[in-house]
């Protein structure tokens, strides 16, 4: 029998990833044509109506954008403290898109925005080591043994070991500029690693996430990601997922 698996149908609406969709199905909040469905392999047919928590959902056309986040904005759609969010800078047509990962308020650079729940999951799932590249400036000179320490791991919180690949670009007694590659998604990971080493981060900018780069964007600017770039991104994710 042909059809679309229920978890994929839910994910294609942009509501969540397939893994989260499985959790929703198992929890009993999903119904098809008015009947509760808890079977993970259920196939949705073309004329079926799918509800999640009694709300009708529809598969969305997937959209993909690059956005250059400036400093001073948090990466969320709403903030109870009233702080400025990235959506204050974006047009209403992009409000339904979610950022892939986060950048803290003081950090700048690349955010991928999409309503493709599967892609968000593939780019952020801890089991897949997706590279994220940053330009980072600190006060003072970093020493080779500290670079090695970052590569071998630093405990930034109890039980949480952070790793980073560091290439020093410029260094003197007053500052060091580095290119840093992360394969984890720990909260404020770079800042906490340097805090442990006794340095203050002066600037932090993400310049690449997997195969998508910041090239050609100005601060606060957004541009659609081309279909060929999405194809290359998916191929890259498939390759590293099998390693």
Residue 129 confidence class, pLDDT cut points 50, 70, 90: very high
pLDDT at 3: 82
For residue 52, give Cα distances in angstroms to 34, 38, 187: 11, 12, 30
- 104 in active site: yes
Ramachandran area for residue 14 (φ above 0: left; ψ -120 to 50: alpha; else beta)? left
- H helices of the chain, in order, are 6-12, 18-27, 117-124, 144-152, 189-197, 227-241
In this structure, what are the phi and psi dihedrals at residue 139, rounded to the nearest 5 degrees? -75, 135
Average pLDDT of the segment spanning 215-242: 95
Of 142, 138, 163, 141, residue with least CA distance to 153: 163
pLDDT at 90: 95
Statement to judge: residues 94 and 52 lie in one domain: no
Q: In the chain, what percentage of residues exceed pLDDT 70? A: 99
Statement to judge: residues 112 and 219 lie in one domain: yes
pLDDT digits (tens, 9 = 90+) for 22-47: 999 999 999 999 999 999 989 999 89
Residue 17's domain is classified under what CATH number? 3.10.290.10
Domain boundary among 57, 77, 93: 57
pLDDT digits (tens, 9 = 90+) for 91-116: 999 988 999 999 999 999 999 999 88
Question: Range of 35's domain?
Answer: 4-57
C-alpha torsion sign, points 80, 86, 91, 93: negative
Residue 188's domain is classified under what CATH number? 3.30.70.1560
pLDDT at 196 over 80: yes
DSSP SS3 for 67: strand
Statement to judge: residues 147 and 189 lie in one domain: yes
pLDDT at 242: 75
Statement to judge: residues 181 and 203 lie in one domain: yes
DSSP SS3 for 183: coil
Statement to judge: residues 73 and 106 lie in one domain: yes
Residue 59 confidence class, pLDDT cut points 50, 70, 90: confident
Residue 243 confidence class, pLDDT cut points 50, 70, 90: low
For residue 150, give Cα distances in angstroms to 7, 187, 234: 39, 16, 29
Domain boundary among 20, 39, 57: 57
Residue 1 confidence class, pLDDT cut points 50, 70, 90: low
d(CA 222, CA 27): 37
Statement to judge: residues 47 and 98 lie in one domain: no
pLDDT at 213 over 60: yes
pLDDT at 197 over 60: yes
Q: What is the pTM of this model?
A: 0.82
Structure tokens at 117: 């729940």
Statement to judge: residues 26 and 86 lie in one domain: no
pLDDT at 73: 95
Q: Which range, of 7-21, 139-153, 205-219, averages the lowest pLDDT?
A: 7-21
How many separate domains does the chain show? 3
Selecting among 78, 79, 88, 104, the annotated active-site residue is 104
Ramachandran area for residue 24 (φ above 0: left; ψ -120 to 50: alpha; else beta)? alpha
Strand pairing report for 108-114 and 201-209:
parallel
Instruction: Please list, residue by residue across 117-153, b when 16 or more beta carbons sit within 10 angstroms of its beta carbon and e when fewer do.
Output: bbbbbbbeeeebebebbbbbbbebebeeebbebbeee
Statement to judge: residues 184 and 77 lie in one domain: no
Statement to judge: residues 215 and 119 lie in one domain: yes
Q: In the chain, what percentage of residues exceed pLDDT 90? A: 78
The label of the residue with tokens 């397939």 reads: 18
Helices (H) and strands (E) in the chain, counts: 6, 17
Statement to judge: residues 107 and 174 lie in one domain: no
Statement to judge: residues 145 and 188 lie in one domain: yes
pLDDT digits (tens, 9 = 90+) for 13-22: 878 888 899 9
Stated as kind and residue range, the H or E segment containing 179 is: strand 175-182
pLDDT at 241: 83
Statement to judge: residues 146 and 192 lie in one domain: yes
pLDDT at 161 over 80: yes
């Amino acid at each position: 029998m042909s059809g679309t698996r229920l978890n994929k149908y839910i994910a294609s609406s942009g509501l969540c990833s397939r893994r989260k969709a499985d959790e929703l199905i198992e929890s009993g909040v999903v119904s098809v044509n008015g009947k509760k469905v808890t079977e993970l392999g259920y196939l949705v047919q073309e004329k079926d109506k799918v509800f999640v928590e009694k709300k009708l959902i529809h598969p969305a056309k997937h959209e993909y954008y690059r956005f250059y986040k400036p400093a001073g904005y948090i990466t969320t759609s709403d903030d109870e403290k009233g702080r400025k969010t990235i959506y204050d800078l974006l047009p209403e047509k992009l409000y339904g898109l979610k950022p892939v990962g986060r950048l803290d308020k003081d950090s700048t650079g690349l955010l991928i925005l999409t309503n493709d729940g599967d892609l968000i999951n593939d780019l952020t799932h801890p089991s897949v080591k997706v590279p994220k590249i940053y330009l980072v400036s600190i006060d003072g000179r970093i020493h080779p043994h500290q670079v090695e320490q970052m590569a071998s791991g630093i405990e930034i919180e109890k039980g949480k070991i952070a790793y980073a690949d560091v290439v020093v670009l410029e260094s003197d007694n007053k500052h060091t500029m580095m290119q840093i590659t992360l394969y984890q998604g720990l909260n404020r990971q770079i800042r906490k690693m340097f805090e442990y080493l006794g340095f203050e981060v002066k600037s932090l900018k993400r310049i690449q996430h997997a195969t998508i780069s910041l090239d050609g964007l100005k601060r606060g600017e957004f541009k659609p990601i081309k279909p060929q770039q999405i194809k290359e991104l998916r191929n890259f994710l498939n390759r590293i997922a099998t390693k």
